Structure 1
Amino acid sequence: MRPTDIESLIGVGRPAISSDGAFAVFASSRPDLAADRTVGQLWRVDLAAGTPRRLTRGVHDRSPRLSPDDAVVAFLREDARGRAQIFVVDAGGGEPVQVTDQPGGVTDLAFSPEGGRLAFSARVPEPGRYGTVEGRDAAAEPPRRITGIRWHANGLGYLDRPAQLFVVDVPATDAEPFYPPAPALDEPRARVVAGPATQLTHGDADWSGVAWTADGAELLSVPDEIESRRRDLRDRVVAIAVDGGAQREVLGTTENLSIASVDVAPDGTVFALANDVGEGGVDFVAPGVALFAVEADGPRALTDAETIDLGEVGSHLTFDGDQVLVQDRARGRVRLLRVTRTGAVSEVLGGDLEVNGHAAAAGRVVASVASPESFGELVMVHGREMRALTSFGATARERGVVVPVEREVTGRDGYPVHGWVAVPEGEGPFPVVLQIHGGPYAAYGVHLFDETQVLVDAGYAVLYANPRGSAGYGRAHGRSIRGRMGTLDFADVMDFFDAVVADDPRLDGDRAGVMGGSYGGYLTAWIIAHDHRFAGAIVERGFLDPAAFPGSSDIGSFFGQEYVGTDPARIAAQSPMAVVDRVRTPTLVLHSERDLRCPLDQATRYYAALKSGGVEAEMLIFPGEDHELTRAGRPQHRVQRFDAVLEWWSRHLPVG
């Protein structure tokens, strides 16, 4: 793959399936360089033997939900001002009808059990902010008064526009359209939606999730209230009456659970994906997300958090009869599991793939998956058989895809280190790039990965592993670096590099570079301060100065304290900034201007220290981007980043 081939990376979102299992609806998405944005539409596929067909033709239609009678699809589409709004369309196709006109944009949606109403969450800005007053520039807004310990979030900005809950009637998809009014003295405002929405919640709490109770009388959601003194990750589940907005607590903070999602089974049982954060409320390292049934006497865990990890980004619940389908990440894969009410677990879909979303009905399961040769496909599981319903990966395969080879080596202390190697065609020897993932409680997987493919296409062999601290190998593996970052994880990645290079004559270990982002940026900076073998390094969006993290990062109120501790000496013993004077490796520092997860000052302070120490260093800052540049940034910025990476390696690690 070349950098511009990111356009071939077509992703498939969480699908919806009709109640009789006859058809499914899903959204595709991909980067478009000409539009310089992510684009995508909704598709419908008949599951018996159908070919997917485009259902909508919007710029970026997503998040489809089917009405209980399978007649209507509700989804999100951006309006003329770029705000996500709910639209509905006949499940057979047609012109979509706009349902909402929310100034802060819609964030989630769900049909009521009888299908006549939609519940949704939408951000509600303070009057006068975020374009609510036409022509008022952000610089002219009044000051923000901040009294809590949190005030911003990566990808969002300030937290002064909390998500509130609403309900709205579903309009008829064949109703008379709206027409622009003729000019008049009182300049009537053009009507764009069928009817007003009713706001159920108010105040400063940010509400996450919209799950209807089985009787349609209430919504279940999780409020996030900003703390005044210390971080508390414990959540509540609250039921809000659809008529009147009265609230009652379903699950309290005394259960010490952080709630990732909550949903209601057809029989009314409440389930949650959650992890125990302890009585202190901040024990989040390798969280061990499990499935809980919320019962009268409290939550009951149905899966083992020590060995089954349901915390993959995008994880959600699918109800299949009286059983629950969930996603489990394991050894670079994400498999689909079936869990019974008694806690029995069986695999529905596994192998060399990563499940990203799922739905089930009438004995059929549909899932969106990624694999080594495809960024996204929709598959159907019926009994023991799996059948692909799409072939989006063909475009990427035409551009050229190298399937990495899985490896496991024994580290210096006897611990197994699992990872992959991707090598260009030919005998070599090839220069080697060691890649390190973020997190640290994340993992490299088996999906088609543009970061690796672009480097291999340019003539580099690429090594990458999931060292201790990563997800997918049990909770003990993930918690092992707590309070000792830069020790076991450092040993694992270096041992993997040494063992794989020594075992493959195509790999030239004397010509090597190292790169990583976020926690991977941390470990890259740590490595080049302790090992000077690499010809060059790329430190991207790194966690580089733990001492400066509190008060600057959106997770600074707990992340560093839980990983590196609070003792200044112990923090310094795990800090790349504390050992930056030892770096001799030419280093490219990449960062985004609006990164609030690892704020820009992490990069600028590190870069300035490199320059002060006489290290050959450059810094590249991307305007308008946040921590998700490499995954969800503007396509042109993503290509420009790849160009900079390849240019850096061409200078410091030439292929010739």
Structure 2
Amino acid sequence: MHSDDVALLRSPGVPTVSPDGRMAVVAVTRADLGGDADRSRLWAVPTDGSAPARPLTTGARDTDPVFSPDGRWVAYRAADPDGRPQLHLLPTAGGAPRQLTAHPLGAGRPVWSPDSRRLAYTARVPQVDRSGADRAAQPPWLVTTLRWQADGVGVVTDRRRHVFVLDLPPDGEDDAAPLPRPRQVTDGAADDADVTWSPDGAELAFVSARHARADRDRVRDVYAVPAAGGTLRRVTDGRAECSRPAYDPAGRWIWLTARPDLGPDGLDAAGRGATLCRVRATGGAPEPVLDPAGTDRGDPTPGTVLAGGAALLGVRRAGAVELLRVPLDGGPTATLVDGPFTVHGVAAAGGVVVATVGHDRSAGELVAVTPGRRRLLTGFGRALGATGRLHRGAGRAVRGPGGGELRGRVTAPDGPGPHPVLLVLHDGPHRQDGWALSVDTQALVSAGYAVVRCDPRGSAGHGEAHARAVLGAGGAVDADDAVAFLDAVLADPALDADRVGVAGTGYGGWLAGVLTGRTTRFAAAVVESAFTDAWGPEQVLGEDPPARLGDVRTPTLVVHGDEDRRYPAEQAARRYTDLRRRGVPAELLLFPGEGADIGGTGRPRHRQARLGHLLRWWARWLPVGDPAGGHAGRGREPLTVRATRSD
């Protein structure tokens, strides 16, 4: 895969299905390198496979489609290239879409009322006008809480997210007639999310943190409010981290995803699986329906999907995200999608289940799912696949130093080798390195490197004991596991055990730094978007990391976004400076205007440039000849601070 191939990538989102089950609609995103922006539009997909997918809209950024319960409308979000997303309404019988909202900071995903006459959503409400170009002329922020900023958003203290309800115009009204004003039904100093309707349309449930310790713990409760506005009531008991509520058809229970008990201080969330729960709509404690010790929800579907008397959700499992069907009456759980796949979203209606499913050579396709059968409905990845530059990974399982099983993947170039090897560590720690398309992996393998990825202790998808094993031991047991997995796979003669590099993003970047402080076996390292102060999150992972910066001798590329709100960019600059002062070859690759996930959500030219710089770095310190695609992107470039080999 070449860096230019990012323009061929098509990424479908979470689908929606018409009430009769005959049609699915999904937003598909692509990178426009010429315009340096991501573009997306809606596609209509017959669920019986009788016709190919066809474009439904022509907007620049059309996302988050949702069919109305009566099937007459598709509500979705749309934005101009430089604008904020607003709610739009598209008639399914044909006609032009109509913009419904004009919030200064944009509107969230639409949620239909049961009578198809109202939409609920969330939107940030600015308390101060900060829209001017002259930032220096704006008033100051007064910060009084710990949670005062968010990656990709910025400072949130004076623009909290609240719930709105919009009444649709009466049938037959001229499109030129003014729209009713949206009605704000929540307020206060908290952010509200995941709004849903009760079956009778009289009430809305949503998730918020409005308790006294909300600034210091992980508790998120389900609240309810009359749809017309009024007094809030708390539904859950103030002990769980809740998300994605949905009323059952009778309105007696609310089904949700939750970490059901965070302990007396509300902080015991690390390594706890987010599992399917239910709570009485009148109030109470969330009751786990699936075992929290062995279940961790992993699909990004924005709500809990209830259809056909069951809940549908994706669960992390040993690198995969499987699709489960969980009967609401307590019957046996069925697995609808398993194996080396990742479920990126699910919807169901009219007796049809449609999921977006990807794997290590596909960003995702729509699949109609029935027990024992999966029907492929789309071919969005056809152009990228036709290049012949996508490589299949091979799953590996080895015995770890702690006695348990370690799982991961090796993706290698064609040919006998031996190939130089890159150990790539995932963010987290409580995530997994799964069966999903990695542009980095494909580009590196195309350049001649074998890429090794694994799930050391601390990773999700392998049970709670595996995930919580790093508490108090971060940088020790996880580093031991990563090295053990690497050593085991290096027994393959196709891999060159004498030419190895290490890279990681976020937590993986921190762990890569720990490893380079332990050993000089790695030819070079890449530390990206990582927490580097004091060598790691000691409050959670341990008080005494096993390696210090003064021990590092490995040439290191430090990559960061200058607007990263998770781990500020000055940490990357400090690490780079310390390495250079001690004579360690180092470079700082700093991306203007980017947050924590440069490779995933950065501007297209930045994503392209990042790939080019990674290939250039590895070609310098771990050469394999002329790496494919080793050219930087065009246009707006990052700031690159280089150290020469003589340094």
TM-score using structure 2 length: 0.92
Q: Assess, with a 3 A threshold, how the Cα gap between structure 1 residues 230 and 207 changes in structure 2: closer, same or farther.
A: closer
> Which of 526, 545, 558 lines up with 1:574 in the alignment?
545
- CA RMSD across the alignment: 1.9
Deviation at 1:452, TM superposition (A): 0.4
Deviation at 1:72, TM superposition (A): 0.1
Q: Is the 8 A contact 1:99 1:171 kept in 2?
A: no
Q: Letter of the aligned partner of 1:499 in structure 2?
A: A
Partner residue in 2 for 1:72: 73
Matched pairs, number: 617
| Percent of residue pairs bearing the same amino acid type | 39
> Which of 130, 139, 144 lines up with 1:142 in the alignment?
139
Deviations 1:280-318 (A, max 9, x none): 111111121111111255322100011121144446421
In structure 1, what is the Cα distance between the partners aligned to 2:215 and 2:363?
A: 40
- Unpaired segments of 5 or more residues in structure 2? 626-647
Partner residue in 1 for 2:30: 30
Partner residue in 2 for 1:18: 18
User: Which stretch shifts more, 442-451 or 287-296?
Assistant: 287-296
> Which of 351, 355, 375 lines up with 1:367 in the alignment?
355
Q: Is the 8 A contact 1:324 1:338 kept in 2?
A: yes
Partner residue in 1 for 2:153: 156
Deviation at 1:27, TM superposition (A): 0.9
Deviations 1:340-377 (A, max 9, x none): 23543221222221111111123211001112321110
Q: Is the 8 A contact 2:299 2:343 kept in 1?
A: no
Q: Letter of the aligned partner of 1:302 in structure 2?
A: V
In structure 1, what is the Cα distance between the partners aligned to 2:245 and 2:214?
A: 27
Deviation at 1:229, TM superposition (A): 9.0
Q: Within 5 A, what are the aligned runs for 1:242-321?
A: 242-253=227-238, 256-268=239-251, 269-275=253-259, 276-295=261-280, 296=282, 297-314=284-301, 316-321=303-308
Q: Assess, with a 3 A threshold, how the Cα gap between structure 1 residues 459 and 434 changes in structure 2: closer, same or farther.
A: same
> Which of 525, 529, 540 lines up with 1:537 in the alignment?
525
Partner residue in 2 for 1:625: 594
User: Which stretch shifts more, 608-617 or 66-75?
Assistant: 608-617
Deviation at 1:246, TM superposition (A): 2.7
Q: Within 5 A, what are the aligned runs for 1:576-595?
A: 579-595=548-564
In structure 1, what is the Cα distance between the partners aligned to 2:360 and 2:385?
A: 10
Deviation at 1:148, TM superposition (A): 1.6
Does 2:482 match 1:485? no
Partner residue in 1 for 2:166: 168
Q: Assess, with a 3 A threshold, how the Cα gap between structure 1 residues 416 and 608 changes in structure 2: closer, same or farther.
A: same
Partner residue in 1 for 2:422: 433
Deviation at 1:389, TM superposition (A): 0.6
Q: Letter of the aligned partner of 1:309 in structure 2?
A: D
In structure 1, what is the Cα distance between the partners aligned to 2:560 and 2:105?
A: 28
Deviation at 1:233, TM superposition (A): 1.3
Deviation at 1:402, TM superposition (A): 0.6
> Which of 600, 606, 610 lines up with 2:569 in the alignment?
600
In structure 1, what is the Cα distance between the partners aligned to 2:381 and 2:430?
A: 28
Deviation at 1:161, TM superposition (A): 0.8
Q: Is the 8 A contact 2:503 2:512 kept in 1?
A: yes
Partner residue in 2 for 1:182: none
> Which of 414, 423, 445 lines up with 1:456 in the alignment?
445
Deviation at 1:136, TM superposition (A): 5.8
In structure 1, what is the Cα distance between the partners aligned to 2:185 and 2:408?
A: 48
Does 2:635 match 1:637? no
Q: Letter of the aligned partner of 1:149 in structure 2?
A: L
Q: Which SS does the other structure have where 2:550 is aligned? A: helix
Q: Is the 8 A contact 1:290 1:308 kept in 2?
A: yes
User: Which stretch shifts more, 290-299 or 326-335?
Assistant: 290-299
Partner residue in 2 for 1:6: 6
- Unpaired segments of 5 or more residues in structure 1? 179-190, 550-558, 565-569
Q: Assess, with a 3 A threshold, how the Cα gap between structure 1 residues 375 and 81 changes in structure 2: closer, same or farther.
A: closer
Q: Which SS does the other structure have where 1:419 is aligned? A: strand
TM-score using structure 1 length: 0.91
Deviation at 1:260, TM superposition (A): 2.3
Deviation at 1:171, TM superposition (A): 3.6
Q: Is the 8 A contact 1:405 1:421 kept in 2?
A: yes
Deviation at 1:252, TM superposition (A): 3.1
Partner residue in 1 for 2:372: 384
In structure 1, what is the Cα distance between the partners aligned to 2:441 and 2:373?
A: 31
In structure 1, what is the Cα distance between the partners aligned to 2:145 and 2:210?
A: 9
Q: Which SS does the other structure have where 1:107 is aligned? A: coil
Does 2:309 match 1:322? yes
Q: Assess, with a 3 A threshold, how the Cα gap between structure 1 residues 10 and 283 changes in structure 2: closer, same or farther.
A: same
Partner residue in 2 for 1:204: 189
User: Which stretch shifts more, 167-176 or 45-54?
Assistant: 167-176
Q: Is the 8 A contact 2:308 2:351 kept in 1?
A: no
Q: Assess, with a 3 A threshold, how the Cα gap between structure 1 residues 307 and 360 changes in structure 2: closer, same or farther.
A: same
Q: Is the 8 A contact 2:304 2:311 kept in 1?
A: yes
